[in-house]
């Protein structure tokens, strides 16, 4: 068991379905930043940021929205580590395959377009989704050439990629990037369980993905919905770090909507009751091998 466990809070996520289920989901830049600060106060060393259209609440990847969130966090003089998603604007939707017709719901941009906000704002971390996969009829595109370019852009900007892996093959893809010199040591892995499309939130899947890790990797993960806290406990028991937050689960318990800070508080309780301790942002930076930005 790791003595120090890093807690990440994924504040608002990039999905649309949750909007109808949680009226208090953070949507505006100020709401997202305030929720991130509350999560940090509750014990999160890292906040993982998506942005949303302030008027509709729908997922967005607009630079000025990220800029407002990051500025508010930095102006607050918080020590929390900022992790900006680079998982948006990567979807391909096909209206037809015979003939091939790309749908208007497609958001796919080139690597620079997908991570421009991270390059300009220079957070400590930015997520890097390590595999092409289908989310129902939507296809998230992560070709090896895209991943190499994204990794290079982040490296040149001094941003550490968080290697998000939804399946076993994604771990192997990430290891290929590492072997090519695209990812600086120590590599940082995030395992994603119970999304409904990749690895299920079962111990066997967690064990298999952990066994594939390269030597010296820093790793953690999360479970979705009702699996969020059970997966957190499994991660702590196996020496991993933990992510919680409204991106992954909106309930504190059955029928009771949660806040980000409440979910972080639950995770902190699990970590401490299992005999580990929660890492501070400074301790997390040392584990990640990054320095404070901004």
Q: How far apart, in whole angstroms, are the C-alpha atoms of residue 243 and residue 123?
A: 18
Tokens, residue 265: 């508080």
Percent of the chain exceeding pLDDT 70 equals 99
User: Would the pTM of this model clear 0.85, i.e. be above it?
Assistant: yes
Domain limits for position 242? 4-288
Mean pLDDT value across residues 56-70 = 97
Let me know if residue 259 belongs to a domain: yes
Look at residue 294 in the predicted model and tell me its pLDDT.
77
Let me know if residue 222 belongs to a domain: yes
Mean pLDDT value across residues 199-214 = 98
Look at residue 1 in the predicted model and tell me its pLDDT.
47
Look at residue 65 in the predicted model and tell me its pLDDT.
98
Mean pLDDT value across residues 81-110 = 96
- Nearest CA to 71 out of 39, 29, 13 is that of 29
* CATH number for 104: 3.20.20.70
Assess contact for 71 and 77: CB atoms under 8 A.
no
12-60 residue pLDDT tens: 999 989 999 999 999 999 999 999 999 999 999 999 999 999 999 999 9
Let me know if residue 294 belongs to a domain: no
Residue 118 pLDDT exceeds 70 = yes
Which sign, positive or negative, has the C-alpha torsion 225, 230, 234, 239?
Answer: positive
CA 251 to chain centre: 19
**Distant-in-sequence, close-in-space partners of 27: CB < 8 Å, separation ≥ 6:** 12, 52, 53, 54, 57
Percent of the chain exceeding pLDDT 90 equals 97
234-251 residue pLDDT tens: 999 999 999 999 999 999
Let me know if residue 19 belongs to a domain: yes
Counted domains in the chain: 1
Let me know if residue 293 belongs to a domain: no
Mean pLDDT value across residues 59-68 = 98
Look at residue 2 in the predicted model and tell me its pLDDT.
57
Look at residue 45 in the predicted model and tell me its pLDDT.
98
Let me know if residue 34 belongs to a domain: yes
Let me know if residue 260 belongs to a domain: yes
Residue 293 pLDDT exceeds 90 = no
Residue 280 pLDDT exceeds 80 = yes
Let me know if residue 284 belongs to a domain: yes
Look at residue 277 in the predicted model and tell me its pLDDT.
97
């Amino acid at each position: 068991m790791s003595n120090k466990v890093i807690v990440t809070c994924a504040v608002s996520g990039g999905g649309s379905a949750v909007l109808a289920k949680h009226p208090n989901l953070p949507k505006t830049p100020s709401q997202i930043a305030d929720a991130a600060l509350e999560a940090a106060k509750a014990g999160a060393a890292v906040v993982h940021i998506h942005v949303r259209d302030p008027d509709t609440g729908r997922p967005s990847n607009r630079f000025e929205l990220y800029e407002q969130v990051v500025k508010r966090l930095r102006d607050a003089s918080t020590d929390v580590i900022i992790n900006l998603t680079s998982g948006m604007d990567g979807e391909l939707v096909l209206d037809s395959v015979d003939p091939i017709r790309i749908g208007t719901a497609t958001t796919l941009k080139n690597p620079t377009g997908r991570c421009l906000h991270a390059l300009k704002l220079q957070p400590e971390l930015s997520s890097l989704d390590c595999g092409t996969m289908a989310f129902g009829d939507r296809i998230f595109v992560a070709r090896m050439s895209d991943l190499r370019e994204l990794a290079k852009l982040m490296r040149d900007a001094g941003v550490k990629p968080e290697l998000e892996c939804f399946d076993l093959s994604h771990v192997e893809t990430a290891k290929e990037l590492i072997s090519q010199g695209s990812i600086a040591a120590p590599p940082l892995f995030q395992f994603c369980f119970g999304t409904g499309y990749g690895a299920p939130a079962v111990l066997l899947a967690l064990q298999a993905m952990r066994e594939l890790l390269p030597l010296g990797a820093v790793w953690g993960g999360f479970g979705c919905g009702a699996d969020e806290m059970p997966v957190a406990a499994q991660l702590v028991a196996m020496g991993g770090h933990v992510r919680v937050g409204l991106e992954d689960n909106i309930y504190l318990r059955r029928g009771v909507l949660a806040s980000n800070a409440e979910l972080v508080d639950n995770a902190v309780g699990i970590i401490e009751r299992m005999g580990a301790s929660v890492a501070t942002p400074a301790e997390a930076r040392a584990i990640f091998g990054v320095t404070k930005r901004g």
